[in-house]
Amino acid sequence: NAGVMQNPRHLVRRRGQEARLRCSPMKGHSHVYWYRQLPEEGLKFMVYLQKENIIDESGMPKERFSAEFPKEGPSILRIQQVVRGDSAAYFCASSPFEARQGNEQFFGPGTRLTVL
């Protein structure tokens, strides 16, 4: 049973470019979460999605960031016009049931984004 998959593992972008981060949840998991880990900091929640629905995006920056989890295919975290402050590790997690039930979230290996 494959774990949560994220790609790419490392992504380098120049300021102003777009970054697309992909996350394939574990088989059978329909709940996806994105977290960001800035250098020397803990993880901060960004967004919680179910298939075709954004449930909670309270942690998403108001501009340039968007996320989707289509009916088919991986979840995508999109960052437009990246700036150096976007450089961070972005982690995706999935769970089989609604997180409010306290189910553990299984994390992917992360995507390290570097903005030059």
Partner 1 sequence: AQKVTQAQTEISVVEKEDVTLDCVYETRDTTYYLFWYKQPPSGELVFLIRRNSFDEQNEISGRYSWNFQKSTSSFNFTITASQVVDSAVYFCALSEARTTDSWGKLQFGAGTQVVVTP
Q: Would you tell me which residues interact with partner 1 (CB under 8 A)? A: 33, 35, 41-45, 48, 55-56, 58-59, 89, 91, 93, 98-102, 104-110, 112
Closer residue to partner 1, CB minimum distance, 19 or 47: 47
Closer residue to partner 1, CB minimum distance, 76 or 89: 89
- Find the length of the chain: 116
CB of 5 to partner 1, least distance (A): 12
Bridge partners of residue 75, in order along the sequence: 23
Closer residue to partner 1, CB minimum distance, 3 or 17: 3
Q: What is the DSSP letter of 9?
A: S
CB of 35 to partner 1, least distance (A): 7
Closer residue to partner 1, CB minimum distance, 41 or 72: 41
3-state secondary structure 16-74: CCCEEEEEECCCCCCEEEEEEECCCCCEEEEEEEECCEEEECCCCCCCCEEEECCCCCC
CB of 89 to partner 1, least distance (A): 7
- Give CA angle at 80 (24, 58), nearest 5°: 65
Please give the Cα distance from 54 to 90 (Å, whole number): 18
CB of 115 to partner 1, least distance (A): 18
